[in-house]
Amino acid sequence: MFEFALLGLLHEAPMHGYELRKRLHDLLGAFRAFSYGSLYPTLRRLQRAGLIVEEGPEESALSWGRRARKVYKLTPEGKERFADLLANAGPQTWDDDSFGVHLAFFSRTPADVRMRILEGRRRCVEERREGLRERLARTGEQIDRYTRELHRQGLESTEREVRWLNELIAHERSEQDE
Amino acid sequence: MFEFALLGLLHEAPMHGYELRKRLHDLLGAFRAFSYGSLYPTLRRLQRAGLIVEEGPEESALSWGRRARKVYKLTPEGKERFADLLANAGPQTWDDDSFGVHLAFFSRTPADVRMRILEGRRRCVEERREGLRERLARTGEQIDRYTRELHRQGLESTEREVRWLNELIAHERSEQDE
DNA sequence: CACCGATGTATCGCAGCGATATAATCACCT
DNA sequence: AGGTGATTATATCGCTGCGATACATCGGTG
């Protein structure tokens, strides 16, 4: 997942770790924070898998004095891998953790896959909503006040998210027709 | 965190793994799902730490024919540990992952700690909200449509959560004064 | 000059997840 | 009586990601 995000980011330009992290943080803002504890290991994983490579040590002319940094760039296999991940978009693509990340890379995502992800996400949130509705109805008044409050808030926010997704989907469709 | 949840649940009654999982799922509903992959290891961890013990094999009379199950109950140390976790409630208590869990155990939480957690959570969400506002303002129109949409939605939902927390806090205060 | 905050790379141990294996029991249909 | 699938139940494996921490350099500000 982090793998997906890093590959996506490196499509913009070659970057070093710190930069990737900042860029990602900027992109996802509230949605999800990635720590260096995942960043560097993932980077090495991608490198071992041949999906990224360290850019040669040239271009030192301009920016010397700068601290040692490793700039990574995508290999053709890396680009392919990113495309594959999108092509095989499935349930884990639209769970709470990844949906935001994928949305952030939508401009680099084919229209049909965009639609599949949006609809998958909608179904996922709708299911949660139904679960909450049922739970709230089932447990009449006898349940703990705070838990009830938690579920009420959860229900409301899933309802909002479904509405939001509907708008996104509608917009997507209108663009497709034009 | 899972540790906190299990200790909290076992205050209700002695339970076996499967039951704990179901109860937790019911309690948290949409909020968070726990897999058996964390459940059983955590249970063993708690047992090793002496916070829970397997209940003796008695009372077999009533329920035989049932599949082997291990019923755990709290030790005094376990109860103490739960109280300690509440007493030392800090930042990790009110992050996205744990806040819901803690709220679900509020009826077992002292009023002053409840207030500390609610206010901590509010500050945390407010900070996120400010971050999003700033980011939305800073990046005028030039940013990717989808990312922008993500941030807009994020901002709206954090705003709603702050309002919700305000209500909870107000209610808490009104109860304190009465 | 001394300190601080940002830049930068890196590792360690732990928490939690998803997938999977295994097995007994129950409710139901035929 | 037999079969089938859902539910109850425990457990492990490898992996992802996190928080804490360490370390080093740089550009300012007091």
B133-158 pLDDT, tens digit per residue, is 988 887 766 788 999 999 999 999 99
CA dihedral A164, A167, A168, A174 (to 10 degrees): 180
pLDDT-derived band of residue A93, with 50, 70 and 90 as boundaries? very high
Rounded percentage of chain A residues whose pLDDT exceeds 90: 70
Q: What average pLDDT does range A72-98 have in this prediction?
A: 93
CATH classification for the domain delimited by A1-91, as one of 3.30.2130.10, 1.10.150.250, 3.40.50.150, 1.10.10.10 = 1.10.10.10
pLDDT-derived band of residue B62, with 50, 70 and 90 as boundaries? very low
Contacts of A100 in chain B (CB under 8 A): 150
Average pLDDT, chain B: 89
* Shortest distance, CA B96 to any CA of chain A (angstroms): 10
Rounded percentage of chain B residues whose pLDDT exceeds 90: 69
State how beta strands B15-16 and B52-54 pair: unpaired
Instruction: Report domain extents, chain B.
Output: 1-90, 110-178
Nearest residue on chain A to B153, judged by CA atoms?
Answer: A164
| CATH class of the region B1-90 | mainly alpha
Return the residue in A142, A146, A149 with the most chain B beta carbons within 10 A, the one to mutate for interface testing. A146
Please say if the pLDDT value at position B1 is more than 50.
yes
pLDDT-derived band of residue B63, with 50, 70 and 90 as boundaries? very low
List the single residue in A31, A145, A155 with the smallest CB-CB distance to B154: A31
Strand partners, A72: A15, A54
No. of helices (H) and no. of strands (E), chain A: 7, 3
Q: What average pLDDT does range B12-35 have in this prediction?
A: 89
pLDDT-derived band of residue A86, with 50, 70 and 90 as boundaries? very high
Rounded percentage of chain B residues whose pLDDT exceeds 70: 90
Whether residues B31 and A106 touch (CB distance < 8 A) is answered with no
Whether residues A160 and B157 touch (CB distance < 8 A) is answered with yes
- Nearest Cα neighbor of A122 from A134, A130, A110 is A130
Handedness of CA A116, A117, A123, A126 (dihedral sign): negative
